[in-house]
Every structure is written in C-alpha cells, then in structure tokens.
Amino acid sequence: MKFYCCSVKAVNEQSEFAINASGLTKRFGDLTAVDHLDLNVPRSLVYGFLGPNGSGKTTAIRMLCGLLTPTEGTAQVLGHQVPGDANKLKPKIGYMTQKFSLYGDLTVQENLEFIADIYSYPRSDRRSRVNDLIDRYDLEAQRKQFAGTMSGGQKQRLALASAVLNRPQLLLLDEPTSAVDPSSRRDFWEKLFALADAGTTILVSTHYMDEAERCHRLAILDHGRKVADGPPSELQASTGMSVVQIETRNTFAAQTELKALADVRSVTQLGIKLRVLIPESVSDPLELVNGVLSAAGLDAKSSLVSASLEDVFVAVTEQKRRLEAAA
C-alpha cells in the first residue's frame, strides 16, 4: 500500500509539468549542439529559451517534439517519451517555425483548411473552427488573400492560427517574432498570454531580451548548455553582480579605463550610458568606478541600478567561461 501511495504522488508530480528532460544531448559529429539539458516546464505558462543564434534552442525544441533523436538523455513531453511516442505526441502539440512555412500560393482560408485536413479535424466542426481562427487572429480582411502576398505581421498571425488549429496542449515557437515590427510583436504576445490563460503550455525561443522578460519562466542557453533557469525577476536579483550605470560624454575613454580593471567583468554601452558589471564581492563598486574615472579626468555621473536580463546573460556566461578556463 505504501508503494501504491508513493506511485500516485510521483504521477501527480509528473503531471504538474508539460516537459521533463534529463541530460538531453544532441551531437552532430564533433559538434555538441545541446549539452546535457535538464528541463522542467510547468503546465499552462510561457517558458522561454533565451540565447544567441547557435546556442542550441532550435535543436532542443526539435528533440522535444520528436523530430530529432537525442544522442543521450531522456525526455517526457505531455506524458509521452520522445522520440519513442512521437506519433502519439504530435496531435497534442503545435509547432511554429522561425521561417514562414505555409503555402504562399494558397489563401489564408485554404491554408487553414489544409492544416485541418492534415490533423483530420472533424468535418462537422471544421468550418466553424477556421472561421473562429480567422476572426480571433484578425485575418478576415485577408481571408481570400494569397499568403505569399501578406505582410510579415499577417503571416505571423496566420502561422500562429495554423499552429493552434488542433487546440494543442503544448505550443512550441521557434524565434516566432524575428521578422516582424515591434507593434506586431506586442500583439503577438498578447495572443500568447491568452492561450496560456486558457491552459496551453508555451515554449518559446528568442534572442530578444525584452521578449524574454515577458516569459513566466526562463532558461538561458549558451553553447548548448543551460546556464540559468528561473523567473526573470529572480534571475535579475541573483546575478552575483553589482550593476553601475554611468552617464558620460566620453564613453570610449571611460570604457578603456574601466575594462583595464581586474574587478570589472563587463562594460556595455547604451547611447551615452555605460553599464558596468562588478562582482558583489567588491564592497564599494561606486567608489571603485568613480575613483578610476576621476583619476583619468573624466566627467561622469554614476549610480547603482537593477540588473537587466542582458546583464544576467552576460553575468552567467562570463562565469561559465571563467570556470571552464580554470578547469
């Protein structure tokens, strides 16, 4: 009886997550694209993959939906082992690729009807489902327009409508806003939050810091490895770095002086401002910065500020490289 109770508890704990991955690894010859990735994605939230191009985001997503076989490790997605149960998993997921992949010589309505055919969507409900998606994703004016002639934002909305046509439990989005304007990106995220509120789990990869801040939870990938994981606010509060912001008209000279300091981990320029990362072990980072700039005869105004996600990314990747160099 005790064994039975423990088993029920384990099942309940598993059911809290849409994705469980352990040691997930993918190698292409000598290249390790994803390196022992551990991942737990809770249901009904927006979980982000943040990282530059080549960090392993797309490869990880393709393994999680059963399109790639892992070299090592295991993954369970919506209760199915991948890639072993991929055929059972696929009807439960939606996948939107970075590049627009629908048919340019079909209209909006024809593309959606074609996707409905692929999913064997019930014919009794097919017309109402297509009409609902056209209305929900603001495509009525483009209903009879060829997809290849639409704007980037319109194509994006059509791609999202197609990805959710089968009412997926899990939606995988690979760099979905890389080719659209800021207004379209904002509208797109409003639709993602509506889906999450309705119970859909969303895994979205991005290299935009402002997009990553929108996610409920976030994993930062660097050269195939997960280097941080948590809610954006927690990651920003636990960088292990003090962030000094400097306003000066002599940004180049100030950078030169600061980068020469052993205690400075990073200097980033934003217009006439510099953001300087200094380990929290340094007791008075403002005194350190002001002393260097004053000695160099540079007029500057310095203040301590909260870390941004870009600061987090720089901090964790810098720490990883220092640890690897010391090994």
pLDDT in tens, 241-279: 999 999 999 999 999 999 999 999 999 999 899 999 999
- In whole numbers, what is the pLDDT of the chain averaged over residues? 90
Q: Which two tokens stand for residue 185?
A: 């990106």
Query: Cα separations (Å) of 321 from 12, 230, 262, 311?
Result: 38, 21, 16, 15
Nearest Cα to 250, choosing from 230, 228, 269, 278? Answer: 269
Mean pLDDT across 283-289? 96
Q: What pLDDT does residue 89 have?
A: 94
Give this prediction's pTM. Answer: 0.86
Q: What pLDDT does residue 96 have?
A: 92
For residues 26 and 71, the answer to whether their CB atoms sit within 8 Å is yes
Amino acid identity, position 214: R
| CATH level 2 (architecture), domain 240-306 | 2-Layer Sandwich (3.30)
For residues 292 and 259, the answer to whether their CB atoms sit within 8 Å is no
Band (pLDDT 50/70/90 cuts) for residue 15 is: low
Band (pLDDT 50/70/90 cuts) for residue 198 is: very high
Nearest Cα to 192, choosing from 163, 228, 219? Answer: 163
Q: What pLDDT does residue 108 have?
A: 97
Mean pLDDT across 146-161? 93
Band (pLDDT 50/70/90 cuts) for residue 217 is: very high
pLDDT tens profile 176-195 = 887 778 888 889 999 999 99
Beta strands in 98-154 (DSSP E): none
Residue 233, pLDDT > 50, answer yes
For residues 239 and 312, the answer to whether their CB atoms sit within 8 Å is yes
Q: Where do the structural domains in the chain lie, given as residue ranges?
A: 17-235, 240-306
Region 17-235: CATH code: 3.40.50.300
CA angle at 98 for the pair 93 and 100, rounded to the nearest 5°: 95
Residue 63, pLDDT > 80, answer yes
